[in-house]
Amino acid sequence: MPFSESDDMTLLLNARNGQTLELDMAGWAIVKRCLDSLKHGDAAPDRELVSCLATLGFVVPAELDEFSDEEERLRLNKVDKSRLFVTIAPTMACNQHCSYCFQRSIAKTKIMSEELQQATVEFVRRQLGDSRQLVVQWFGGEPLIGYAAITFMTRAFKAICAERGIDYYAEMLTNGVLLTPERVAALPELSIKALQISLDGTPETYSGRRQVPIAKAEAHYRFLAEHVQDIVDATGSLTMRINVDRDNIEEAKYVVRLFKSHGVVDHRIDFRLGFINTSRGLVDCVPHDCFTNTEFAEKELVFRRFLEAEGYMVFGMPRPKRYPCTAVVRNSFTIDPHGNLGKCIPAVGTSQSTFARILPDDMDRTLRDVTTAEMPYERFNPFHSEGCGGCLMLPTCLGSCPKHHVSGRRVVACGMREGFGDKITFYHRFHKRRLDGRTQV
């Protein structure tokens, strides 16, 4: 379907496979006539054109129900056990006090006990079954406070995977303050292949929002600027999440220019705007002046253009997804410092999605509880949720966060639709320019 139209251009998007097709006025008129002829059967279609459109997925057999196909694909992906996903918070404690933190009401626990660390390893070992990959995300609180626990469990996980001949993949979400040159150098040993670090604009803004002395904020920014290339080389993927609202949006450019001034322009760095909003429980976004969905989409587009102009890779092209998030996947678990098993990553440390608990002295019972429990979000189906069902963009988001749906109805406004045409147009042309640039070299 046309997702972006202007006086001289029409851009088609196939949400099922991510294909885009840009047409001028004459080309769109030809394609439209061809599609109309297929729909109404009132003229002989251009068979060569039909074949081309079918290859791109813009023409499908009349009897094919694409929504049913996509719904079945989601069902199969939800029960797929080829990968085991485990998000572990070794502690809910944090070394900062972010003004917008969605975990403000969560008790700051101590580090996971050694007994529970060993039980977590045993739970993972037995839950793996015939899985071909173990995917671990280190979360918190601030996970690096529990660095020793991470190191212990990582070694055990890697030994299990090596014994079974399966792949081990880990990633971490961190504020980065506890990173040191030695810990950066140890990232490959921990098999952390993706790292996300959050910032807030300038050091002054960071200092105010994190409630840390300005000298510490400036020292942290210097450390990151001097070691960001080492972090990227050690992991292969770095996301710099810049949390923004109306007050500090322009400071996102400062962060990018800071790293560029240190000679770091690497296609493995994903500079990303973090949308501070109410979806994670912040009431009225106090004390911040938050964007609306529409405003944020507009600012994101401006930021994408800025990143391209600065020579960086721009991530975020909407693609068909396997699932909206791992909360809906049967073989996915969150584990908090007390051993509580849940499904929703942002809800770690709360009872919101907890359905069982790791019992160090009774692993058989733990596994029975997991096997027999009806897990949170297990029945989530965006194809039958009012507000999402029938949406042509559904394969690219699959309803987004399951918590945004209650009793078969979407209750939180969809941010995906905001500026979607402009977003698709940007990425289509961005990747075309990159491809053209490679061709000319």
Please write the tens of the pLDDT for every residue from 335-379.
999 999 999 999 999 988 899 999 999 999 999 999 999 999 999
pLDDT at 248 over 60: yes
CA dist., res. 436 & res. 412, Å (int): 40
Question: What CATH number should be reported for the domain holding residue 239?
Answer: 3.20.20.70
pLDDT at 283 over 50: no
Burial 5-41, CB ≥16 within 10 A → b, else e: eeeeebbbbbbbebebbebeeeebeebeebbeebeee
Give the pLDDT score at 282.
41
Give the pLDDT score at 73.
98
The residue out of 64, 89, 115 marking a domain boundary is: 64
User: Does 29 share its domain with 159?
Assistant: no
pLDDT at 307 over 90: yes
At CA 397, angle to CA 394 and CA 400, rounded to 5? 115
The residue out of 309, 341, 371 marking a domain boundary is: 309
Strands 332-335 and 83-88: parallel
User: Per the domain annotation, does 248 fall within a domain?
Assistant: yes
CA dist., res. 173 & res. 186, Å (int): 16
Six token digits for residue 213: 């002395």
Cα dihedral 345, 351, 355, 358 in deg (nearest 10) = 80
User: Per the domain annotation, does 24 fall within a domain?
Assistant: yes
User: Per the domain annotation, does 228 fall within a domain?
Assistant: yes
Give the pLDDT confidence of 288-305 residue by residue, as tens digits: 788 888 999 999 999 999
CA dist., res. 316 & res. 397, Å (int): 12
pLDDT at 439 over 70: no
Residue 101: band (very low, low, confident or very high) from pLDDT cuts 50, 70, 90? confident
Q: Which residue range(s) make up the domain with 201?
A: 73-309
The residue out of 309, 325, 343 marking a domain boundary is: 309
260-286: average pLDDT: 79
What angle do helix axes 251-261 and 293-309 make, rounded to 10 degrees? 20
User: Does 33 share its domain with 82?
Assistant: no
User: Per the domain annotation, does 348 fall within a domain?
Assistant: no
First to last CA, the chain: 34
Element housing 357 (H / E): strand 356-357
51-63: average pLDDT: 92
Give the pLDDT score at 441.
47
1-9: average pLDDT: 67
Of all residues in the chain, the percent with pLDDT exceeding 90 is 82
User: Per the domain annotation, does 173 fall within a domain?
Assistant: yes
Q: Are 217 and 204 in contact (CB under 8 A)?
A: yes
pLDDT at 94 over 80: yes
Residue 3: band (very low, low, confident or very high) from pLDDT cuts 50, 70, 90? low
Six token digits for residue 165: 């001949």
Q: What is the average pLDDT value for the chain, to the nearest integer?
A: 93
User: Domain tally for the chain?
Assistant: 2
User: Does 166 share its domain with 256?
Assistant: yes
User: Does 256 share its domain with 279?
Assistant: yes
User: Per the domain annotation, does 279 fall within a domain?
Assistant: yes
Q: Are 425 and 4 in contact (CB under 8 A)?
A: yes
Of all residues in the chain, the percent with pLDDT exceeding 70 is 94
Strands 356-357 and 332-335: unpaired
User: Per the domain annotation, does 321 fall within a domain?
Assistant: no
User: Does 87 share its domain with 168?
Assistant: yes
219-230: average pLDDT: 98
Which position has the higher pLDDT, 141 or 288? 141
User: Does 54 share its domain with 125?
Assistant: no
Q: Are 425 and 101 in contact (CB under 8 A)?
A: no
Closest alpha carbon to 57 in 21, 22, 86:
21
Give the pLDDT score at 280.
46
Give the pLDDT score at 276.
83
User: Does 212 share its domain with 90?
Assistant: yes
User: Does 203 share its domain with 80?
Assistant: yes
User: Does 46 share its domain with 96?
Assistant: no
60-88: average pLDDT: 97
User: Does 23 share its domain with 108?
Assistant: no
Residue 440: band (very low, low, confident or very high) from pLDDT cuts 50, 70, 90? low
Q: Are 209 and 201 in contact (CB under 8 A)?
A: no
Give the pLDDT score at 279.
54
Q: Are 289 and 282 in contact (CB under 8 A)?
A: no
User: Per the domain annotation, does 382 fall within a domain?
Assistant: no
Give the pLDDT score at 277.
72
pLDDT at 169 over 80: yes
User: Does 42 share its domain with 88?
Assistant: no
User: Does 101 share its domain with 241?
Assistant: yes
Give the pLDDT score at 278.
60
Percent composition of the chain: helix, strand, coil (DSSP 3-state, to 5) = 40, 15, 45
